[in-house]
A and B are shown apart, each in its own frame.
Chain A
Amino acid sequence: MADDWQPDFEQLVDVHQSMVFSLALRMTGDRGLAEEVSQDVFMELDRNMTKIETAQHAIFWLRRVTMSRATDALRRRRVRGTDLWVEIEESHGARELEHGSPLGDRIEALLGTLPEAQRAAIVLRYQEDLTPEEIAATLDAPLATVKSQLQRGLKLLRAKAESQLKEYIRAV
Chain B
Amino acid sequence: MPFDDFENELRDSLKREPAPAGLKRRVMEGRQNRAQLHLSRTSARQRSRMIWFERIAASLVLAGVAGGAVVGHYAIERRKGEEAKQQVFTALRITNHAFEVMNERLQERDKDSQ
* Residues of A that sit less than 8 Å from B by CB: 9-10, 13-14, 17-22, 25-26, 31, 35, 38-39, 42-43, 46, 99-101, 103-105, 107-108, 111, 122-123, 126-127, 129, 154, 157-158, 161-162, 169, 172
Instruction: Tell me whether A126 and B20 are in contact (CB under 8 A).
Output: no
Instruction: Tell me whether A100 and B30 are in contact (CB under 8 A).
Output: no
A53 to chain B minimum Cβ distance, whole angstroms, is 21
A100–B20 Cα distance when bound, in Å, is: 16
A104–B13 Cα distance when bound, in Å, is: 4
Instruction: Tell me whether A18 and B16 are in contact (CB under 8 A).
Output: yes
Enumerate the 5 nearest inter-chain pairs by beta-carbon distance, A residue then B residue, closest first. Answer: A104-B13, A17-B19, A127-B14, A21-B19, A22-B16
* Residues of B that sit less than 8 Å from A by CB: 1, 3, 6-7, 9-20, 23-24, 26-28, 30-31, 34
Chain B residues within 8 Å of A31, by CB:
20
Task: Give the residue of B10, B12, B17, B30 whose beta carbon is less than 8 angstroms from that of A22.
Answer: B17
- Is the contact region of chain B dominated by helix, strand, or loop, or is it mixed? helix
B92 to chain A minimum Cβ distance, whole angstroms, is 85
**Apart from the given pairs A21-B18, A25-B17, A39-B27, 11 other A-B contacts in the complex at a CB distance below 8 Å:** A10-B24, A17-B19, A17-B24, A19-B16, A26-B14, A38-B23, A43-B31, A104-B12, A127-B15, A154-B7, A172-B1
A-B contact pairs, 17 of them (CB 8 A): A10-B24, A13-B24, A17-B23, A22-B17, A35-B20, A39-B26, A43-B31, A46-B31, A100-B15, A104-B13, A107-B10, A127-B14, A157-B10, A158-B3, A161-B6, A162-B3, A172-B1
Task: Give the residue of A13, A108, A172 whose beta carbon is less than 8 angstroms from that of B14.
Answer: A108
Chain B residues within 8 Å of A129, by CB:
11
B35 to chain A minimum Cβ distance, whole angstroms, is 9
Chain A residues within 8 Å of B9, by CB:
103-104, 107
A86–B18 Cα distance when bound, in Å, is: 25
Instruction: Tell me whether B19 and A10 are in contact (CB under 8 A).
Output: no
A101–B13 Cα distance when bound, in Å, is: 7
A38–B13 Cα distance when bound, in Å, is: 21
Chain A residues within 8 Å of B17, by CB:
18, 21-22, 25, 99
Chain A residues within 8 Å of B18, by CB:
18, 21
A26–B13 Cα distance when bound, in Å, is: 11
Chain A residues within 8 Å of B16, by CB:
18-19, 22, 127
Chain B residues within 8 Å of A10, by CB:
24, 28
A42–B10 Cα distance when bound, in Å, is: 28
Chain B residues within 8 Å of A42, by CB:
27, 30-31
Instruction: Tell me whether A35 and B28 are in contact (CB under 8 A).
Output: no
